[in-house]
């Protein structure tokens, strides 16, 4: 028995909503009628006995009943709405009617106003994402590292995508020629997903620890005594927080697998944050050399 329902997993950019309408019309011609439109997926039911023409509107609606009734009076049947303000309507197709009968906006200014509503949303979101990209850029200057670089590139891409799309929708006409220079929504979603996943993965692989060692007194001198170790899974900049309090100068060292010193500080009292260390992939040990009582706390991110 042939299936009677299906789900379509497609996503469209807002300025490409006409392509979504075309796809809904083609699906209806093939006997699949929309029951619920969505941002990333839509539901259809099999009914080859009817054929519809679809349209979409974008707006925030305070009185949904009156809104639907307004379109019903013009011959449009309400189908569903998305969480972000897109509304789907349809009208039975009559080949004897002109194409103009299936335009949901009967005047050019109404269409422009719908475009401007979405453009305002896109420009606001794009500005917020651009601000986050700027924050990442400032952080890269202060504390460069690979996860932040990935966040910067992804958020910059998002901001350009949204701001460019908002600019297009503010124009009176959004045709295919203008859209051809914009990456598809599939590319946008892939970049955002892979970039975000990559940044989270890189962050999770970084050594995150806080360790404390202390002794009230030392009976004999301690020389490069290791008390903790950590692993670096990929080469990058890492940042050490270090607090030393000792009766006499204490030497704190980070040693690599070969026993070579990659960082060293000799102090009686030291309180420093975000000490930059360029570390290669491998195992590292924390070591101290001292001749008196001490308290040492260090952490890394």
- Nearest alpha carbon to residue 153 among 106, 196, 206, 214: 196
Q: Tens digit of pLDDT for each residue in 61-78?
A: 888 999 999 999 989 999
Q: What average pLDDT does the structure give for the chain?
A: 89
% of the chain residues with pLDDT over 70: 93
Helix (H), strand (E), coil (C) string for 207-250: CCEEEEEEECCCCCCEEEEEEEEEEECCCEEEEEEEEEEEEEEE
| 97 three-state secondary structure | coil
- Nearest alpha carbon to residue 166 among 121, 196, 201, 200: 121
Rounded alpha-carbon distances, angstroms, from residue 24 to 9, 50, 141, 251: 13, 13, 48, 71
Is the pLDDT at 237 greater than 90, yes or no?
yes
Is the pLDDT at 182 greater than 60, yes or no?
no
User: Poorest-confidence range of 3-12, 49-58, 154-163?
Assistant: 3-12
Q: Which residues pair with 236 in a beta bridge?
A: 279
User: Poorest-confidence range of 4-8, 25-29, 278-282?
Assistant: 4-8
Integer-rounded Cα radius of gyration of the chain: 30
| 3 three-state secondary structure | coil
Only one residue has tokens 């009076």, namely: 73
What pLDDT is attached to residue 88?
Answer: 95
d(CA 129, CA 188): 14
- Nearest alpha carbon to residue 12 among 130, 168, 174, 188: 188
Enter the pTM of the model. Answer: 0.74
Largest CA distance in the chain: 102
Tokens representing residue 36 in the block: 């619920």
Mean pLDDT value across residues 214-241: 93
- Nearest alpha carbon to residue 188 among 209, 163, 213: 163
């Amino acid at each position: 028995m042939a299936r009677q329902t299906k789900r379509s997993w497609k996503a469209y950019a807002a300025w490409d909503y006409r392509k979504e309408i075309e796809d809904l019309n083609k699906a209806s011609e093939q006997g699949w009628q929309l029951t619920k439109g969505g941002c990333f997926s839509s539901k259809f039911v099999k009914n080859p006995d009817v054929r519809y023409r679809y349209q979409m509107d974008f707006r925030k609606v305070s009185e949904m009943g009156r809104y639907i009734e307004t379109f019903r009076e013009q011959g449009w049947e309400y189908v569903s709405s998305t969480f972000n303000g897109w509304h789907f309507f349809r009208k039975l197709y009559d080949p004897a009617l002109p194409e103009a009968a299936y335009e949901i906006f009967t005047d050019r200014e109404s269409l422009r106003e719908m475009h401007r509503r979405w453009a305002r949303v896109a420009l606001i979101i794009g500005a917020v994402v651009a601000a986050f990209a700027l924050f990442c850029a400032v952080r890269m200057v202060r504390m460069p590292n690979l996860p932040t670089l990935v966040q910067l590139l992804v958020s910059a891409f998002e901001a350009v995508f949204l701001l460019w799309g908002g600019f297009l929708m503010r124009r009176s006409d959004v045709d295919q020629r203008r859209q051809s220079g914009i990456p598809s929504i599939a590319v946008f979603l892939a970049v955002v997903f892979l970039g975000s996943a990559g940044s989270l993965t890189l962050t999770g692989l970084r050594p995150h620890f806080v360790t404390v060692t202390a002794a009230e007194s030392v009976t004999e001198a301690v020389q490069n005594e290791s008390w903790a170790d950590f692993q670096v899974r990929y080469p990058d900049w890492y940042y050490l927080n270090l607090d030393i309090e000792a009766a006499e100068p204490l030497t704190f060292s980070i040693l690599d697998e070969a026993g070579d010193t990659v960082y060293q500080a000799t102090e009686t009292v030291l309180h420093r944050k975000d000490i930059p260390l360029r570390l290669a992939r491998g195992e590292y040990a924390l070591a101290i050399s001292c001749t008196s009582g001490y308290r040492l706390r260090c952490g890394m991110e």
